[in-house]
Amino acid sequence: MVSARSLIERLGLQPHPEGGWYREIFRSPVRVQTPRGERSAITTIYYLLEAGQLSRWHVVQADEIWHFYGGSPLELLDYQPERRELTRTVLDSANAVGVIAVNEWQAARSLGGFSLVGCTVGPGFDFADFRFVTDLPDHAAHFKSELARHQDLL
């Protein structure tokens, strides 16, 4: 049985600012223009969450596709702030892909010892396009009703 620690070492993962471990494995040389400037067309990372680690509520100004690779199932939360709609998806070997559309809020946690996933972002990921939800104005109002039970992911 593979351990989280052995995967972190074997895949060369580093701490991620939102929580967990990651390593970029592809950044397209193709460049595209976005309202925020030029970006790679697409990027992909390995991302691992151990038990008790969280992918804190955040928003990316690009579409993100999550791919389940192994370990325990992963709970992926997707919140559409304009409609105040929360969607919960459990990624595992039977349901291996989740999609978070541009500007939707997202958070995740492993439902066991660890979860290994991949995240593909298009246009490609740039930390300039990333914000923690806690940095957004009026975010707290959403956590008083719709997201109250998910405040632990802030």
1-19 pLDDT, tens digit per residue, is: 789 999 999 999 999 999 9
Average pLDDT over the chain, rounded to an integer: 95
Distances (CA, A) of 20 to 40, 46, 51, 99, 108: 24, 11, 10, 19, 10
Q: Supply angle C-alpha 130, 77, 153, rounded to 5.
A: 70
Could you list the residue range(s) of the whole structural domain that residue 71 is in?
4-153
The CATH number of the domain where 52 resides is what? Answer: 2.60.120.10
Q: For position 16, what pLDDT does the model report?
A: 96
What pLDDT band is residue 116 in, cutting at 50, 70 and 90? very high
Instruction: Give the tens place of pLDDT for each residue, 30-83.
Output: 999 999 999 999 999 999 999 999 999 999 999 999 999 999 999 999 999 999
Check residue 151 and give its pLDDT.
Answer: 84
Write down the pTM of the prediction.
0.94
User: Coil, strand, or helix at residue 6?
Assistant: helix
pLDDT of residue 73: 98
What confidence tier does 130 reach under pLDDT thresholds 50, 70, 90? very high
In a 3-state reduction of DSSP, which class is residue 99?
A: strand
- Phi, then psi, of 68 in degrees rounded to 5: -80, 130
Residue 147 has pLDDT above 90, yes or no: no
What is the total count of domains within the chain? 1
